[in-house]
Amino acid sequence: MGKGMQVVSTGSALRDILLGDEQYAGRRVLVPTMGALHRGHLALVKHAREVAGPDGVVVVSIFVNPIQFDREDDLEAYPRPLETDLMQCQAAGVDVVFVPDVREMYAHDRSTLVTENSLSRSLCGAARPGHFDGVCTVVLKLFMLSACHAAVFGEKDFQQLAIIRRMVRDLDVPVEIVESPTIRESDGLALSSRNVRLSATHREDAPCIFRALNEAAKLHNAEGIIRHAMKRLGESEHLKIDYLTLVDAETLQPINDLKRPSILAAAVFYDNVRLIDHVRISPP
Ligand code: AMP
């Protein structure tokens, strides 16, 4: 668009630009992130540009949202390389970066949360109480602040994506939700901002997550799939399984047969670094 990248830190400045400036009158597409940007995020930005079109506006938000963290140590250790992030946004052709601080986003006496009550019961929702309330609340706020027409989310966080789609449907939020595929390292490890916190040994071990899921997914019965993935993950002496669950791809409820499309999902800890991954399984 040739208008140069704007970086704003308040909701009112964001709305002034996006709603008050003629240059930003096109289709606005939001990419919500917590920063520490990697190629996965940049693929979302590229996808956002395609959805926005050449005259549209790509907005990236960078906000480490405290209310979606269930562990204080994880929030504190979350990487925050803002300068590098901004350079990456600039190079990727982002139009506006929204970088609010916590006080800007949350009043000290805030008392409203957005809660999804079905899809968020299993998997990460069960393992991290309150996590998806925090996600839904911040995402809805970012939708309102950016007045975006569409928003792009990674399939890597498939439960998050399903919950956001449900929230948008249930609350008639006028935002198109766009899904973008998972970007992986050449050894199969899904890119994540938390990967930089892995020790060299753990980084070397971590591709076993995706390998275990993929291998197991080739079997033809639910019990065998779980057993095989559990055995494979159990062979690593470095990781601790948080959950390994086979769920219905639509309801995200645990299942014990393969009659419908399903998802084999895992969360593991390397020390205090938690990684998630999943594979999709079609009925045999
Ligand atoms: P995060 O900064 O981790 O909150 O992620 C921001 C967005 O990037 C979410 O929509 C994620 O699903 C997406 N994302 C994170 N990692 C990847 C990846 N490896 N491939 C594609 N999208 C990703």
User: 6-180 and 193-278 share one CATH topology?
Assistant: no
Whether the per-residue pLDDT at 202 is higher than 90: the answer is yes
Distance CA 160, CA 8 (A): 26
Any atom of ligand 1 within 6 Å of the Cβ of 192? yes
CA distance 179 to 157: 10
pLDDT tens per residue across span 153-194: 999 999 999 999 999 999 999 999 999 999 999 999 999 999
Contact 8, 104 (CB under 8 A): no
- Displacement of CA 65 from its chain's centroid (Å): 12
Cα separation of 122 and 266, whole Å? 12
Q: How do residues 114-139 score in pLDDT, each as one tens digit? A: 999 999 999 999 999 999 999 999 99
Domain ranges of the chain: 6-180, 193-278
Separation between Cα atoms, residue 54 and residue 58, nearest integer Å: 10
Q: How confident is the model at residue 36 (pLDDT cuts 50, 70, 90)?
A: very high
CB–CB of 27/57 below 8 Å? yes
Tell whether the model's pLDDT for residue 54 goes beyond 90: yes
With the most atoms of ligand 1 within 8 angstroms of its CB, the residue from 157, 160, 177 to mutate is 157
Instruction: Determine the CATH number of domain 193-278.
Output: 3.30.1300.10
Average pLDDT taken over every residue of the chain: 97
Could you identify the residue written with the tokens 């209310």? 67
Is 6-180 in CATH node 2.130.10.10? no
Amino acid at site 128? R
Tally of helices (H runs) and strands (E runs) in the chain: 11, 9
Closest residue by Cα to atom 19, ligand 1, is 191
Cα 41 to middle of ligand 1, angstroms: 6
Sign of CA dihedral 234, 237, 243, 246: negative
Q: Is 41 a catalytic residue?
A: yes
